[in-house]
Amino acid sequence: MTKYKVTETVDWREYPPDINYGLNSSDLKQSMFAIAPGILWNSNYKKLNFYGGFQLVYRQYSSVISNTYYRVYTTSNNAPEMFQDYYQTEPGGFSIGAGPVTGFSINVFKGLSIGAEFSTAYSYYKTGGAITTTVTRIFPTYLYVGTNISGLTFEGYKFSSLLTAINIAFNF
């Protein structure tokens, strides 16, 4: 299970002076569940263990949720001109595929080993769908709320990027 959270803040006062400036803040969240059962073959040589095989890979992606806050101020007196918020959701999806996996481990001490693993998969994927965006204008003095629904779907076949992992194992 992997959870992604990206936060970005932009302060437009860094740019050449203008009549107004903005302070923008964005948050984006998504999670991914992955499972990859497979068959591996081992080859041991003293303290070194090599392995390789094939795996089935399934990934489930949650919806992407993003919040963006725009704040615009007058440069001369820092008075607020506009506050506007965007809330957006985009459906997640899944991918399923198969591919090779290989790796190694080194027994450093009795009960401690380190290693690395490399894998990729050729997968069918389908993500996206109806994207819902809600805009709320809070300031100036009127309240405006609008919702827009658009669609964006990604579907096809492709090799995943080479996935790497560093392993540390303690045996009791």
Give CA–CA dist 132/107, Å, rounded.
52
Q: Which of 22-26, 55-59, 128-132, 136-140 has the lowest mean pLDDT?
A: 136-140
Q: Which two tokens stand for residue 93?
A: 């999806």
Find the domain containing 107 and state its range.
Answer: 2-170
Residue 50, burial from CB neighbour count under 10 angstroms (0-12, 13-18, 19+): middle
Give CA–CA dist 58/27, Å, rounded.
27
> For residue range 61-94, what is the model confidence (pLDDT) as tens digits?
999 999 988 888 877 787 788 888 889 999 999 9
Into how many domains does the chain fold? Answer: 1
Model confidence pTM above 0.85 = no
Where do the DSSP E strands lie in 36-143?
Answer: 38-45, 48-61, 64-74, 80-90, 93-109, 112-119, 122-139
> For residue range 103-155, what is the model confidence (pLDDT) as tens digits?
999 999 888 999 999 999 999 999 999 988 888 887 776 667 788 888 889 99
